[in-house]
Every structure is written in structure tokens, then in C-alpha cells.
Amino acid sequence: MQNYSLDELREMKELTETIKQNLAAIEASGWTLNDLDDMRTESIAVVTNLAVIDESEWDLDSMEDMRKEAESTVARLEDIEKAS
């Protein structure tokens, strides 16, 4: 068995308490492990998308302009679809 210093033991105790509090909060929230896994997956996708945007040469204003153009195109296509 490894000999830990008093400071290391205190730090481990604090981490253990934090983990217990987080687990209690998760349990109280009613979220399932599947819900949490879905959130983790969605978070990974967001981080990946942000990394791609960050590495691209587009700035946020350009991205906003492209989003507006895409929304406008969708609206026009919906109008055409309704008219036919």
C-alpha cells in the first residue's frame, strides 16, 4: 500500500465528496445514463463543429450570413413546394 501525505489524503477526500455530490445531483435530476451519454455525444459534436469553424477561414459574421442565406433558400423552397 502506498503511503499518502496528509495533504494528498485531504485532496482525495475532497474529490470523493465532490463525486458524491455530483452523483446525488444526477440521481435527483431523473436523468438516465442514456440521457447523459446522449448529452456527452452532443457536446462532442458541438466541440468538433467549433474546432472546424475555428480552423476555417470564415469569421462568425460570414457564418451568420451563410445561415441567413440557407434559411432564405429553405423558405423559398417551402413556398415553391406549397405552390405546386
10 or 81, greater pLDDT: 10
* pLDDT for residue 83: 85
- Please tell me the distance from the alpha carbon of residue 8 to that of residue 48, in angstroms, as a whole number: 35
* Extents of the domains making up the chain: 1-30
Residue range 36-41: mean pLDDT, rounded: 90
Q: Which residues in 46-55 are b (16+ Cβ under 10 Å) and which e?
A: eeeeeeeeee
Residue range 47-70: mean pLDDT, rounded: 84
- Please tell me the distance from the alpha carbon of residue 48 to that of residue 40, in angstroms, as a whole number: 12
- Yes or no: say if 53 and 63 are a contact pair by the CB < 8 Å rule: yes
Looking at residue 30, the DSSP 8-state letter turns out to be T
Measured in residues, the chain has a length of 84
Q: Would you say residue 59 has pLDDT above 80?
A: no
